[in-house]
């Protein structure tokens, strides 16, 4: 494979403009880019962005140079403007194939090298003068085109699996609404109680131990590990001290109590492995004679619950809801038999979702393996 300086591979477009009112509809900020996805799913601003922005054209590759460790790369879906904390990159097509270019920029091979040259501690940034001198090995153009065809086919299949997973989640939400109605209306007249009344013991805060490398035995679940879909993600860590009183058990519900993730919940499952939870999380142990964990977890996905989160959170330095406030949340309490019927539906849906997620994980691994075998 031939070796090239990055400036021989990519053009860094520095064209800028001062936004006017209509530019707010075609504005992309770093907040609109998702790590691990080249696809843009949201955009725009309520008001015209302030300060000069980069001009982008449909098909440009957008790279978040600020906090590059977040690995944000996307393909511009339309002509518009992009954050000045990013770069607008275009391929030099005599060196790199146009369809392969975004796959290269989003690869760990490129991103890991770029991250290493970030400067600054609070908000590390990549400078073009440093980036342009980095050297990368690339296969010939014919090989790049074949790779791009294969990799884009894998991406398309992965997107299909993601849509099916999302559809499975929506099916569960629809079943909840059909079976129990909108909690804010309580059209079926269910008894009303509070979270603390269906808990075994008080809602409790987690460990204040620091995180360290995973010891292969006990996971340390932190607030940042709770994903949008309620599953656990992130880097698996252990705590410097493992206290048995923080051990999680099947059916425990975790609530995020502070920061941008306040309100997020996770239903702990034994297949996550042995784990304790950190201090920015609150645990509720459900009294299963009164409430089913699956019913309670999906109750926290309702609009009613999120209205509570928005109204209850106190903003000092950052949003916060404490254990007492969570405990006072009013919830509907259908008969336990009805809850268990819903839980059986959830468990069946989870089996389908598990198979889809397994297939998606295998495809992701295949994608990364092909990239690793053909770059660097």
- Structural domains counted in the chain: 3
Burial class (CB in 10 A: 0-12, 13-18, 19+), 15: exposed
On whether both 328 and 340 belong to a single domain, the answer is no
- Assigned domain for 24 exists: yes
Q: Which two tokens stand for residue 129?
A: 């003068």
On whether both 130 and 152 belong to a single domain, the answer is no
Q: Which two tokens stand for residue 9?
A: 């591979």
Domain span at 98: 2-138
- Assigned domain for 48 exists: yes
On whether both 53 and 131 belong to a single domain, the answer is yes
Taking the alpha carbons at both ends of the chain, their separation in whole angstroms is 8
pLDDT of the chain, 376 residues: tens digit per residue: 899 999 999 999 999 999 999 999 999 999 999 988 999 999 999 888 899 999 999 999 999 999 999 999 999 999 999 999 999 999 999 999 999 999 999 999 999 999 999 998 788 999 999 999 999 999 999 999 999 999 999 999 999 999 999 999 999 999 999 999 999 999 999 999 999 999 999 999 999 999 999 999 999 999 999 988 888 887 899 999 999 999 999 999 999 999 888 999 999 999 899 999 999 999 999 999 999 999 999 999 999 999 999 988 776 667 899 999 999 999 999 999 999 999 999 999 999 999 999 999 999 999 999 999 999 7
The one-character DSSP state at 95 is: T
Q: Which of 61, 62, 32 is nearest to 44 (CA)?
A: 32
Torsion of CA 6, 56, 63, 29, to 10 degrees: 160
On whether both 339 and 325 belong to a single domain, the answer is no
State the Cα–Cα distance between residues 317 and 259, nearest whole angstrom: 9
CATH assignment at residue 360: 1.10.287
On whether both 272 and 205 belong to a single domain, the answer is yes
On whether both 327 and 195 belong to a single domain, the answer is yes
pTM above 0.75, yes or no: yes
State the Cα–Cα distance between residues 304 and 331, nearest whole angstrom: 9
On whether both 99 and 64 belong to a single domain, the answer is yes
Contact 203, 327 (CB under 8 A): yes
CATH assignment at residue 130: 3.90.220.20
- Assigned domain for 186 exists: no
State the Cα–Cα distance between residues 353 and 347, nearest whole angstrom: 10
- Assigned domain for 185 exists: no
On whether both 306 and 215 belong to a single domain, the answer is yes
Rounded to the nearest 5°, which phi and psi values hold at 55? Answer: -85, 130
- Helix 141-180 × helix 336-374 angle, to 10°: 170
CA angle 298/217/256 to nearest 5° reads 30
């Amino acid at each position: 494979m031939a070796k090239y300086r990055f400036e021989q591979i990519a053009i860094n477009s520095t064209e800028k403009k001062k936004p006017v009112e209509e530019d707010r509809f075609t504005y992309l900020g770093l907040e609109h880019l998702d790590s691990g996805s080249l696809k843009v799913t949201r955009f725009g601003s309520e008001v015209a962005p302030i300060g000069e922005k980069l001009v982008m054209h449909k098909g440009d590759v957008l790279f978040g140079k600020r906090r590059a460790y977040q690995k944000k790369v996307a393909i511009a879906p339309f002509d518009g403007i992009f954050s000045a904390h990013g770069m607008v990159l275009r391929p030099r097509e005599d060196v790199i194939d146009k369809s392969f270019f975004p796959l290269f920029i989003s690869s760990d091979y490129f991103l890991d090298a770029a991250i290493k040259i970030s400067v600054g501690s609070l908000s590390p940034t990549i400078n073009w003068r440093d980036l342009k001198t980095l050297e990368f090995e690339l296969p010939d153009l014919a090989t790049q085109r074949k790779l791009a065809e294969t990799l884009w086919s894998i991406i398309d299949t992965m997107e299909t699996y993601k849509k099916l997973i999302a559809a499975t989640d929506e099916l569960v939400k629809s079943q909840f609404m059909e079976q129990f109605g909108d909690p804010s209306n309580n059209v079926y007249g269910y008894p009303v109680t509070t979270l603390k009344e269906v808990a075994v013991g008080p809602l409790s805060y987690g460990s204040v131990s620091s995180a360290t490398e995973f010891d292969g035995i006990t996971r340390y679940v932190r607030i940042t590990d709770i994903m949008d879909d309620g599953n656990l993600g992130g880097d698996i860590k252990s705590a410097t001290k493992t206290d048995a009183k923080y051990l999680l058990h099947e059916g425990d519900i975790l609530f995020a109590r502070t920061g941008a993730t306040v309100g997020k919940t996770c239903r702990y499952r034994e297949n996550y492995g042995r784990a304790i939870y950190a201090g920015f999380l609150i645990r509720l142990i459900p009294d299963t004679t009164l409430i089913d964990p699956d019913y309670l977890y999906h109750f926290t996905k309702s609009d009613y619950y999120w209205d509570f989160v928005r109204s209850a959170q106190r903003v000092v330095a950052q949003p916060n809801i404490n254990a007492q406030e969570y405990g006072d949340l009013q919830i509907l309490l259908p008969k336990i038999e009805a809850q268990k019927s819903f839980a059986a539906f959830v468990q069946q849906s989870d089996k389908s979702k598990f198979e889809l997620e397994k297939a998606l994980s295998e495809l992701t691994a295949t994608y990364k393996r092909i990239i690793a075998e053909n770059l660097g």
